[in-house]
Each structure stands twice: as C-alpha cells, then as structure tokens.
Amino acid sequence: MPTSSNMQRLITCLLILCFVSPCLCARSTLTTKSNTYNVKDYGAHGDGKSDDSGAFLSAWKDTCGAQETPTLVIPSEGVFLLNYITLNGPCNAPSVNIQLQGKIVASAKKEWIKVSEIQNPNTKGLTNDTSNLIVFSNVTNLSIDGSGGSIDGYGSSWWECKSCGRPTILRFKSCNDLTVSNLTITNSPKAHIRLNSCDNATFSDINIRAPGDSPNTDGFDIYTSKNILIQNSNIQCGDDCIAISDGSSNINATGIACGPGHGISIGSLGRSNAHETVETVHVKNCTFTNTKNGARIKTVPGGSGYARNIIFENITLINADNPIIIDQYYDSYGKSESGALNVSDVTFRGFSGTAAKQKAITLNCCPSGCFDIVLDHVDIVPSTPGKTASCSCNNAHGKSTETVPQCSLSS
C-alpha cells in the first residue's frame, strides 16, 4: 500500500505531466510552423496588381537563413506580381523546399522597363540584373514543387520587339542537387528555363506553353551543366524545346512531347570562332509534333571543340520538318570559313513517323567530315500521300542500317 506522501508525490507528477504535455505539443507545432515561410506573411498582396517582389525577397531571406529544412510557400489563394528577383544562396539548411501553389505573373514590358530605369537611372532599358524574372543562385539541394501553381511571363508584351533585352522566366545558376517537379510556365518573353553551371538536376512533369511563332522562347537552355535529367514533360514553344549548349555533359531527356517548337538541339556551337563542347547526351522516347526540326545538331563554321557521344532513340515524328539534321553551316549566311567543331559518335535509332517535307534526313557536314554517324531502324515517310522521302548527305561517315529513306554514308 502506498503511503500518503508517496500518493501525493504521484498525484503531483501526474498534474505536472498534464501541464507539460500540451506545452510540448505546442512547442512542436510552433517549430514546424517556424520552418514554413509564407510570402503573404511578409506582405505579399497576391492581387495580381501590386508588386510583391519585396515580400518574396524578405521571405526568401528567412527561408535561406533557417537552420533546419525550411519550406517557402507561395499559397494558392493569390496571383503574385513580380518584376525581377534574385534568390541567393548558399543557405544555412542542408536543403530547401519551395511549394508553388498559387500563380506568379511577370510585369508587362512597359512596367518592367519603368522599374528598371527607376532603380538604374543612368541606364536606358534593361540591364543584366533585369534579364530574368526569377534567379536562384548558388542554392544546394533545392526542391521546387509546382503542384497547383504556375508562372506566366506575359511575353505577348515583348515579342514584337525582337531587339529588346527580353527576360528569361526562371534561371538556375550554380545550383547543385536540384529537383523541380509539376511546374507550369507559360508565355516567356524569351527562354522559359535556363541552367548555368548546375550539377545533378532533375526536372519532372514540366509543362511549358508559348505560341509557335513567339521568338526565341526556348523551353530549356542548358549551359556549362552536367548530370541533368528532363523527363515526362510537355513543351510547346517558338524555338528549341531543349537546347544543349557549350560545356554541358551527361544530359538526358526522356518522355518529352515537343511541339510546336524547333525540336531538341545540340548547339548552336562555335559562334564567333569559339571553342565549345557538348558530350554524352541521350534523348529517348520523345515525340515531335509539327516541329521545325526533330533531332538536331547545329554548329557554326570557324568554331572549334566537339559534339560527341550523342544518342537520339525511340523517336516518334508527326509532320515534323527536318526530322534528323546535322547542320555544320548553321547561321553562316553562305560564308565559308576554315575550321569546324568535330561532330562524332552520333546515333539516330528507332525513328518512325511522318515528315512535313520530302527531305527527311539532312547530314550536312563540313569538308573535314562528321564521323561514326549511325542511322539504325529509321522509317520516315512524308505526311503528303504519294510523296517519297529523301536523304541529303555531305561528308558524313558512318553506317546506315534498315533506314528509310536510304542514306549513303561514307565508310
């Protein structure tokens, strides 16, 4: 039998536990909330008219400064107008999450330039600081989930002025171990997504939409980056659905529905006699619908470097211009310059479908030649009944097996 003093101590402990437990639960809830940063809590209006750039920057400052994994929230109940922001790292936490649930919209061209000139009174028009709507710089282990949200670049206010310094919507600079999923971006003034000096990035279920005649509105521009995967995405634009440029390697694109657009391109490479390189690219299980090109490699005469170890396979074509093309005279305007990038070890395998024109395959290499080119199990016919597809082949060395139209590659 417990003594009265023991019983009193037991009751006292139970009472203390009853008071402490709710406090512990409350503290846990507070900790969870303190790691979630909602842009509306920082003054974002979300009315689609007021500039919310400052609120986003303030929310990012606290998000990036958090010690444990934080989450920046752009809530569903809002349309958030931005001019241009740079979200800088490195961040304190080992990883950072962003939930884009609402809609982000860019200012129209007139307002964009007005803000630029207010902040840079000695500069006419746009500066490099305003060449992107949103920049993530030097952020490691960044994860962006765009479920329910979107970004609209309001490109229609820019497209008529092709000489203007039109901005890119989303740029990642020196961001390693990056994951972006379920993101919708529409109507960029220029490129929709650009990567510079990134390592290990995965883009999944990305939806990009812009009119087929919108100028230079690439889906993805990839520069000096490696170990990049773009998968299960739909890209409609006015230029390359994916452009893989200088300094890039280990690039994979799979399950891409491209069109309208200019296809998936390596390059252009070698402008202004530059030394540029791209290697180890794998494009597979993609569809090109009403595109100006399909699988393309484009280099400019006079440049040096290489494009090598490139595979395009299991490609479906629906009324595509230039389904397969290597063009070593890209943008040369008839000029004949000495020197060219080395194009080698390129495979086009498992192509089937229709071409908008009779010329289905173009391998237009410079006199020094392209080497180890493989055409295998290719079956392309013109969209117009009764027409016959053709192949144009200059200075291309390699082999062609079970390919329609037939191509005569040099050994």
Cβ 192 vs Cβ 153: under 8 Å: yes
Q: How far apart are CA 411 and CA 392, in angstroms?
A: 16
- Centre a 10 Å sphere on the Cβ of residue 365 and count the other Cβ atoms it contains: 23
Q: How far apart are CA 210 and CA 89, in angstroms?
A: 30
Cβ 189 vs Cβ 158: under 8 Å: yes
Q: Which entry of 192, 262, 321, 327 is annotated as an active-site residue?
A: 262
Encoded tokens for 158: 């820019």
Which amino acid does the sequence have at 242? I
Cβ 265 vs Cβ 243: under 8 Å: yes
Catalytic, 218? Answer no
Which amino acid does the sequence have at 388? T
Catalytic, 52? Answer no
Q: Which entry of 152, 218, 239, 246 is annotated as an active-site residue?
A: 239
Which amino acid does the sequence have at 228? I
Strand positions, DSSP E, 174-331: 178-181, 184-186, 193-196, 199-204, 207-209, 220-223, 226-236, 242-244, 248-258, 264-269, 275-289, 295-299, 304-320, 324-327
Q: Is the dihedral of CA 133, 130, 84, 201 positive or negative?
A: positive
SS3 at position 355: strand
Residue positions annotated with a catalytic role? 239, 262
